[in-house]
Amino acid sequence: MDLVLYIIVAVAALTVGVLATYLFLKKRGASKLASAEAEAKQILETAIRTAETRKKEALLEAKEESLRLKNDADAEIKERRREISRQEHRLAQKEENLDGKLERMEKKEVALAEIQGSGGQDRRGRGSERDRDGQTGEDLRNDERRSEARAAR
> In this predicted structure, what is the pLDDT of residue 153?
62
Min mean pLDDT across 24-28, 83-87, 129-133 is at 129-133
> In this predicted structure, what is the pLDDT of residue 100?
93
Tell me the per-residue pLDDT of 32-83, one tens digit each, with 9 for 90 and over. 888 999 999 999 999 999 999 999 999 999 999 999 999 999 999 999 999 9
What contacts 151, CB < 8 A, 6 or more positions away? 98
Whether the model clears a pTM of 0.85, i.e. scores above it, the answer is no
Q: Is residue 96 pLDDT above 70, yes or no?
A: yes
Domain regions of the chain by residue span: 33-152
